Structure 1
Amino acid sequence: MKNNPVLKIVALVVAFFVFIYFFIFYFFEDHSTDQNTLSAQEKAEGWVLLFDGETTNGWHMFSKPNMKHAWKAINGELTTNTNDTSGTHGDIVTDGVYENFELTFDWKIAREGNSGVFINVQDDTSYIATWATGPEYQLLDNANMQAGYLDGGKKGAGALYGLAPLKTTVEPNPAGEWNNSRIKQVNGKINYWLNGTMTAEEQIGSERWKGLVANSKAAVFPDFSKSTKGHIGLQDWAKGVSFRNIKIRIIQ
């Protein structure tokens, strides 16, 4: 090859195409397997996955555990779409119950979408819905809501829905793009974050809390937020919503 210019050219061409192949493979391959996993550090810190990326195991329809629901695991996302008629639409809740915990999750929502994550849900047929007992972390396509819907921030993404405006103003990413949220509850004190910004901080059962509830639509539900232990719920409400990387750790 040393003295053959043709072979040198062939070798250079082959090397070029090998480089291009690996470049494309690295930058354009499906990285979905990177999602819904725990690092060694997260495992050491006590984090566990509430969604395995492949099934809806660990979740069931609120108050109807044996009913086939419309939530699916698709391409590493726990998702529901209003056009899906293969199952009954409705909120799903975790099989397990949680009290003192930290929960993180990624979410994206359809244009004009509206959904939420509930905590302390009492999974009982005597309650009409998840929101009859559990406070909500609002998920919303803020930019495309009708005028006045945000209600001074009480109904915007990241808000303690219907109770208090955002502690710090922050806008979610546009419809169809991923956001990251965090919920922490310790002895009834709850904190919410949206994309790293704290959006809510309240103490369940305090005088302030009682006033917030009394001046909200939740006032008609006598058992709303009466417990600081319960299931975590995902709302199937409007348009479509997807979740991934749903992780929780118990706080001792």
Structure 2
Amino acid sequence: MSYSKSLFILFATAFSAFACGGGEKQVDEVTETVVEESDWESLFDGQTFEGWSKYGGGEVGKAWKVQDGAIYLDAKNKDGWQTGDGGDIVTNEEFENYHFQVEWKIAPNGNSGIIFFVKDSSEYAYPWMTGPEMQVLDNDGHPDAKITTHRAGDLYDLIESSEETVKPVGEWNLAEIIAKDGKLELHLNGVMVVSTTMWTPEWEEMVANSKFKDMPGFGKYKKGKIALQDHGDEVWFRNIRIKRL
């Protein structure tokens, strides 16, 4: 069903204000770019892993589950040991210019990430060898938070968030990745926290000064899959959708 622009903006603003608990002005600025509700494509039906696979091929690992309408990584068993059979998961489809949205929450002391422009190839062992990452983290509990570019919402190991808008551990956060002809924005809970331009000399210099400097495929691909990271900690993702730009 298609809705008018005005009806959708009203819905999206109300939803974002509810989900984010504030930042309505910034959310309004994002939602006003939406033309029709039908422009959005769901990437998760809330019940199955249709449209997703394990990075490198094959079915999604058994540690990933669908729970209460969310994708859930059951990373550890009752004794605290990692369950295994997880691995990073990726969309079956590649995307180029888009506005991506997902809600996430993380367990105490947890770490995960949303990785994009991923080249799913046997040439690369992990998604992060090609795709930049929007960090998912418990800033108060995980040791990675001591590094300024490794906190929730950061463009991992590249750009620190302009401000911290992440919610307390266990609460849902709305993450958005907007990529258009090299222009990249990361939004967290209705606030743009990172803005940069990819594939420029400045981008190449930034990568050369990061932990990815010895990864020849990192940040090079202009079309790729979107990955959800298994970092060995419990994490949840829901309301996953994309709008092609």
Does the TM-score normalized on the shorter chain lie above 0.5? yes
Is the 1:142–1:156 Cα contact (8 Å) retained in structure 2?
Answer: yes
Tell me the residue number matched to 2:147. 151
Once the two structures are TM-superposed, the CA of residue 200 in structure 1 deviates from its matched residue by 0.9
Tell me the residue number matched to 1:220. 214
Structure-to-structure mapping, 1:79-228, within 5 angstroms: 79-83=72-76, 88-146=85-143, 149-152=145-148, 154-166=149-161, 168-228=162-222
Once the two structures are TM-superposed, the CA of residue 126 in structure 1 deviates from its matched residue by 1.2
CA distance in 2, matches of 1:123, 1:207: 25
Tell me the residue number matched to 2:6. none
Matching residue's letter, 2:151: G
Tell me the residue number matched to 2:29. none
Deviation sequence 1:191-235 (CA, Å, 0-9, x none):
001111111111111122111100111111101111110000000
Q: Identical aligned pairs, as a percentage?
A: 38
Once the two structures are TM-superposed, the CA of residue 54 in structure 1 deviates from its matched residue by 0.5
Q: Greater CA deviation, 82-91 or 181-190?
A: 82-91
CA distance in 2, matches of 1:100, 1:143: 34
Once the two structures are TM-superposed, the CA of residue 69 in structure 1 deviates from its matched residue by 4.1
Matching residue's letter, 1:79: Y
Q: TM-score, normalised by structure 2?
A: 0.80
Unaligned runs of 5+ in 2: 1-33
Once the two structures are TM-superposed, the CA of residue 135 in structure 1 deviates from its matched residue by 0.4
Is the 1:170–1:197 Cα contact (8 Å) retained in structure 2?
Answer: no
Matching residue's letter, 1:207: P
Once the two structures are TM-superposed, the CA of residue 73 in structure 1 deviates from its matched residue by 0.8
Query: Match of 1:119, SS?
Result: strand
CA distance in 1, matches of 2:108, 2:210: 27
Tell me the residue number matched to 1:47. 40
CA distance in 2, matches of 1:245, 1:71: 16
Query: Match of 2:213, SS?
Result: helix
CA distance in 1, matches of 2:36, 2:163: 33
Q: Does 1:74 align with 2:70?
A: no
RMSD over aligned Cα atoms: 2.0
The number of residues matched between the two structures is 209
Matching residue's letter, 1:164: I
Matching residue's letter, 2:70: E
Matching residue's letter, 2:212: A
Q: TM-score, normalised by structure 1?
A: 0.78
